Structure 1
């Protein structure tokens, strides 16, 4: 028994039964029949020293606690710290996740109607949800709440960004038929609840907008897969 155990080695892809190999499973059953690890294994193509591509994919998923949204936020430098993941493999994973993000953006109409927080979040999530730094955006709408355009006002670090009122309203007034705005920024921490500074800024911008005959419809904070809406929590009324 000891002799048999000593001859065992880590499984390689070719050691798996043909029906269990990810590429064969994809051909037989389609991509929907694959586990997350098997999808990643196909992207990685090969494993590392003494480890199969499937096991390497499992190691990668374990590093983010099997959270694909967390994986989408990782940079090349984060992925290459994982044993067996070199620059090429890391680039393959990052590129695949970016393609998925672009597909999510492409499913939205060019000028969506953003009449509630759910619609706003659907538009903002692929743009802000996976960032590991803060950004402040302004969405400019017409009377029908149709998006005229969006502008990135500022980019910051992991704990904050600057949102200058002059820059925000200058960007908004580029659109001649703009009547209302949705303010938006993200919290890379994943905590959606607004800070005291977020509340003060929102009240300040709501007051300033009234002097330009503009209305702030909402301020949406995107935090990964969740969000916080000032309008839903009736925090915009306090600024009037």
Structure 2
């Protein structure tokens, strides 16, 4: 009988299956395995990959987890954490390139996908501004503020000042709710009204205010709040 570990050849077979059939044929934990192969050159990483999926919930949740939180997991060293975070950075960069310098209103779902990928999994609130030109082309994507787990300070006059600097004709506001509940708070509603009241006399249109979370998104415009 062979004394070779059972996982010998597994890496080669998994890579070959991925290259032949793509990610559709792989489980979430197998994609995590592929990411860990380069960072952990020896040993069986399948149990670790499965444990990460169990702990965090999905492939997206694993790569979107805070680096410090990932570093607390047994078996995940700096190289492995870096590999997981590079995967997240690549996904966000790809999603961003699909919407930058393109008409936003005709690629609305891609914009929502980008916002969720870049913001939905963060543990604190963030406020992002998307500035558009007269043709509704996205010309600037700026993360304005980072806050706490349930609050982000937003300064309406600074929002509009930046729009004027960019010569933007419209903007879309986006922020995340780490709790998972996308319902707007009274403060969210009040802040949106204040920004709109400042923008209107300057002929700057507020296309929407979107709240994103792990569970989905909420559009002020589609629900009649804007």
The question of a shared fold, defined as TM-score above 0.5 by the shorter chain, is answered with yes
Out of 88, 112, 129, the position equivalent to 2:102 is 112
Could you say which structure has the larger radius of gyration? 1
Deviations, residues 44-84 of structure 1 (Å, cap 9, x unaligned)? 23499xx831111111111112x222223312221122222
How far is the alpha carbon of 1:35 from its aligned partner?
Answer: 2.5
The 5 Å alignment of 1:1-240 reads 14-16=5-7, 18=9, 21-28=10-17, 30=19, 31-32=22-23, 33-45=25-37, 46=40, 52-65=44-57, 67-106=58-97, 108-115=98-105, 118=109, 120-176=111-167, 178-224=168-214, 226-236=216-226
Q: C-alpha distance in 2, partners of 1:158/1:110?
A: 28
Q: 1:179 to 1:188 in 2, by over 3 A?
A: same
Task: Check whether the contact 2:136–2:170 (CA below 8 A) recurs between aligned residues.
Answer: yes
Structure showing the higher helix proportion among its residues: 2
Q: C-alpha distance in 1, partners of 2:35/2:111?
A: 32
Structure 2 portions without partners, runs of 5+: none
TM-score scaled to structure 2, two decimals?
0.84
TM-score scaled to structure 1, two decimals?
0.79
Q: 1:235 to 1:119 in 2, by over 3 A?
A: farther
Q: 1:37 to 1:120 in 2, by over 3 A?
A: closer
Q: 1:214 to 1:129 in 2, by over 3 A?
A: same
How far is the alpha carbon of 1:182 from its aligned partner?
Answer: 1.3
| Residue correspondences, number | 218
- Root-mean-square deviation (CA, aligned residues, Å) is 2.6
Q: 1:90 to 1:148 in 2, by over 3 A?
A: closer
Say which SS state the counterpart of residue 61 (structure 2) adopts: helix
